[in-house]
Amino acid sequence: MVSLMLNNEYLKRLNILYIEDEPEAANRLQKLLSRVFDNIFYCINGKEALDVFNKESIDLIISDINMPVMDGMQMASKIRESNKDIPIIFTTARNESDCLIKAIDLNVDSFILKPIDFSTLIDKVKKAGEKIFSFESKKLLEEYKDVVDKTSIVFKFSSEGKISFVNEKYEELTKFQEAEVKNRFFNFNFLSSVSEKTFSEIWEKIENKETWRGKLKGKTKEDKSFVLDVSILPVIDYNNNIIEYIVISNDITQEEAINELLQVELRESKDILSNKNYLLNEYKRCLDISSVFISINKNFKIINVNSKFLQLTKGRIEEYLGKKLEIIVNDKTIYDEIHSTLAEKKEYRGILTITNKRGEEKYIDFTFTPVFNELKEVVDYLAVGSDISELIELQFEIEDTQKDLILTLGTIGESRSKETANHVKRVALYSYLLAKEYGLSEEEANLLKMASPMHDIGKIGIPDFILNKPGKLTNEEYDVIKTHTTIGYNMFKNSNRKILRSASIVAYEHHEKWDGTGYPRGLEGYQIHIFGRITAVADVFDALISRRVYKESWSLEEVIDYMSSKAGYAFEPRIVDLLIKNLDKILDINSKYEDK
């Protein structure tokens, strides 16, 4: 019951508007009220009280009736024009029927005769507090429902297993309209890929009033496969009977967990208020089980987190309540972006990295949503997120595998022309250093570091008798050698992977020259991709300063003189300047990966 949930701490935070024109009575009652409430706004007439009501967030009004300027009835009538629900308690020395009738017409909560018995007043106040608490609880539960309706995909089925409802996201994914699937068994489009044993386990769980969680594969109407991360939960009534089952799922087919709760429609016309609240609590429970949830006030302080969040962070709720959102979002750039987006009353969607108490990094796909009141004013913010850590870690593993593959392929390409394995490592690290100094982002610099070892991969397609010819090449042989750029480009140009697309650029353009005299396309200046311009400098520098079986290494002075003389002709001058400026770091790399 509400009365059991109501406590003194809740009452203390309420804002009370107290109106009394008799100073002695006002002073006495204020002292008594201050034992219960922290925030009391005192006025001596109805007009003054109206000004306070319009400026402050008032929760409860205690007012005398007979006052100068504007009496209590007039004030209450004005307030009811804009607020039908705020509790009003009248105090008066008169016990007249016309006052009582007017008070009833104004939906006044209580009517207390003077002299006021404090215990009677407190009883009335507590009942009014219960009304406020019930109203706020209903409003919060409505917000939970709204979050479900806006952000997720859901379908429901009866105790016989027949579908009774699907939402728009279900229809978008499966291409089935609600009319096509209604009264069909909920697993009709999963049967081809999910075993009977699995469905037996599902029924055993949910009929025992437990939640089943797992992944289900299915087919759309167009016979396309999809994978869902599913939670199936029983919805239970007051008599502990199962009403129906609700399925909340996320489409993880494209390595993206869309873990936002699905739209659910409440049949409010047939439900009494208590039953509505109960069902809304059930939906909140579903939300709490399947997603990370954070509630934030307008000052960006955390006012609630759910158990799923605490499981991920390994923290306690008191460590977060009342703290700024920055305790969770510690990247200032991302925090500022969230703040500015929500300030514009827009939704923010992004992946946040959270380090839990064990030092583990968790990746949460969050949607931050403003919550509006009936006047379209923001009252607070909700963040609903899905843990996609497994998918991100898998992506990292794939990228690491790609890095190893590219480094190995780059080494193979170089080995065909009698280069060393360490040459491609040095070129990769030179390129990364120069990219960062040039002003490229960390992501771009890393891409170049991973792609630059592939600059000569096209040599795989050059015949050995030309590639390793000890004497001078003929013009025809040199033309064949030059095709290694196009061969390397064609190997990777159609890839969907950033690393391999970058490798195709490096292979294609690392022999282009700043003045346009390079090959294969004769590009000049900034027509040459920055990856090609940087790799060209790194490759030539390492080739000159390193010893090979067919040549001795040049001295550092000779190498720098050569590189400087080619600035503005073969190389972009700025990159040569950066090479010379960072020569100590370049030589450290050369020494660390020296050819044996």
More confident residue, 176 or 330: 176
Residue 503 contacts residue 457 (beta carbons within 8 Å): yes
More confident residue, 522 or 354: 522
pLDDT attached to residue 254: 65
Length of the chain: 596
Structure tokens at 128: 């009014």
pLDDT attached to residue 264: 40
DSSP assignments along 168-205, one per residue:
HHHHHHH---HHHHTTSBTTTTTTTTS-HHHHHHHHHH
Q: 239-250, pLDDT tens digit by residue?
A: 788 888 888 877
pLDDT band of residue 259 (cuts 50, 70, 90) is very low
Residue 221 has pLDDT above 90, yes or no: no
Q: What is the DSSP letter of 22?
A: -
pLDDT attached to residue 450: 86
DSSP assignments along 471-538, one per residue:
SPPPHHHHHHHHTHHHHHHHHHTT-SSHHHHHHHHHHHHTT--TTS--SSS---GGGS-HHHHHHHHH
The amino acid sitting at 128 is A
Winning range, highest mean pLDDT, from 392-401, 441-450, 467-476, 578-587? 578-587
pLDDT attached to residue 461: 79
**Cα–Cα nearest to 436, from 334, 582, 543, 580:** 582
pLDDT attached to residue 541: 95
Q: 312-341, pLDDT tens digit by residue?
A: 888 888 888 888 888 788 788 888 898 899
Kindly report, as residue ranges, where domains of CATH 3.30.450.20 are found in the chain: 152-274, 291-387
Kindly report, as residue ranges, where domains of CATH 3.40.50.2300 are found in the chain: 2-147
Cα dihedral angle (22, 28, 32, 38), rounded to 10 degrees? 60
Mean pLDDT on 449-468: 82
Structure tokens at 343: 């300030």
Of 17-31, 170-184, 287-301, 482-496, least confident by mean pLDDT is 287-301
What CATH number does the domain located at 291-387 have? 3.30.450.20
Residue 209 has pLDDT above 70, yes or no: yes
Mean pLDDT on 100-126: 76
- Chosen CATH of 392-592 out of 3.30.70.2860, 2.60.40.10, 3.40.50.970, 1.10.3210.10: 1.10.3210.10
Domain spanning 152-274, CATH architecture: 2-Layer Sandwich (3.30)
Buried b (16+ CB within 10 A) or exposed e, 291-317: bbbbbbeeebebebbbebbbebbebee
pLDDT attached to residue 276: 53
Radius of gyration of the chain (CA): 36
Mean pLDDT on 452-477: 82
pLDDT band of residue 5 (cuts 50, 70, 90) is very low
Which homologous superfamily is 2-147 in? Response regulator (3.40.50.2300)
Kindly report, as residue ranges, where domains of CATH 1.10.3210.10 are found in the chain: 392-592
Mean pLDDT on 43-55: 92
Mean pLDDT on 424-433: 92
Buried b (16+ CB within 10 A) or exposed e, 67-77: beebbbbbbbe
